[in-house]
Structure 1
């Protein structure tokens, strides 16, 4: 097994739910193999409390979570990403910055969690969280060679085609 630690950025438009949950799940389930980040093209300014509650349940430190712009990851002082994954349809269709180092990119789409009542919202967040977890576990179960530079784009793309 390689000792490489991969930097992974998850992007969604608002950076309040799906990208944040993806960041936390890969960080926890990846057990140190990944440094995870999340950002938004148009951050809405706050992380959804339902996302925070689910991440707290799996032991992810949510104390520093905030909704932030992807521009924080563009500059020369930003960590260089190995992988960038969009998790919502809007972000996948936007013109993204040119990322330093030309990381591998993929789209792993999830519907926007929603609901009228708090119970419906909680159930919707739990459903999307379970989908993110399922895709993350499939990613982590891959052999190391699936992350090799000549394989990773295809690997990420196949995972993005998973259906739930």
Structure 2
């Protein structure tokens, strides 16, 4: 059996968050641009809000990242027959990390890259936007480290360890235990 991570090809990456309106949207856009040619980026949520947070769009646009095709959608789209098979699935919010995810076709590599929810910040407009900028920077840092990995030359165990290390970079939150 051939290892799907041993060949140079385009990898599908899904970023998950509960509402799919801020962090996962930021990550999708960042990887779409910074990983162009090596990665196809997607995002989804367990309980999608149905709209993208306007501050997420404002921050992405201010840094020159693409907005085309960004929408809040359910993770069920990516577990359905005919959906793109994911190579990597990253949770970027602690609530989603604690939820029972669908079974992803293809057994993707997974990791938790939790950061604070910028949409939960209260305060004036500048404070709220600053939270989105901080989230953007944390995600861009993680995604740049991920995109630089020599994926095809790493075995699954080493790659899994590297993905977990990326999740511990500056700005890390801790997942909440799921309710049993």
TM-score normalised over the length of structure 2? 0.84
User: What are the residue-to-residue correspondences of 1:83-162 with 2, within 5 Å?
Assistant: 83-113=88-118, 114-145=121-152, 147-162=154-169
Could you tell me how far 1:153 is from its partner in structure 2?
1.5
Residue 55 (structure 1) aligns with = 60
Mapped partners of 1:147, 1:6: distance in 2: 14
Are the structure 2 counterparts of residues 98 and 157 from structure 1 closer, same or farther at C-alpha, using a change threshold of 3 Å? same
- Determine the C-alpha separation between the residues in 1 that align with 2:57 and 2:63: 10
RMSD: 1.8
Contact 1:10 1:86 in 2 (8 A): yes
List alignment gaps of at least 5 residues for structure 1. Answer: none
SS state at 2:36 partner: coil
Partners of 1:115 and 1:124 within 8 A in 2: no
Partners of 2:170 and 2:63 in 1: how far apart? 24
Query: Contact 1:146 / 1:155 at 8 angstroms: preserved in 2?
Result: no
The number of residue pairs the alignment matches comes to 164
State whether residues 17 and 91 of structure 2, in contact with CA within 8 Å, keep that contact through their aligned partners in structure 1: yes
Partner Cα separation in structure 1 for residue 133 and residue 22 of structure 2: 11
Q: Is the 2:8–2:152 contact (alpha carbons within 8 Å) kept by the matching residues of 1?
A: no
TM-score, length of structure 1 as denominator length: 0.92
Tell me how far 1:148 sits from its aligned partner.
4.3
How far has the Cα of 1:32 moved from its partner?
A: 1.6
SS at match of 1:151: helix
Aligned to 2:174: none
Matches of 2:10 and 2:122, distance apart in 1: 37
Structure 2: state its 5+ residue gaps.
1-5, 172-180
2:110 maps to 1:73: no
Cα deviation, 1:79-135, whole Å, max 9, x if unaligned, reads 000000000000000000111011011000100112321111111100111111111
Q: Deviations over 1:33-89 (max 9, x none)?
A: 100000000001110111112222344331321110000001111000000000000
Q: Mean alpha-carbon deviation: is it higher for 92-101 or for 26-35?
A: 26-35
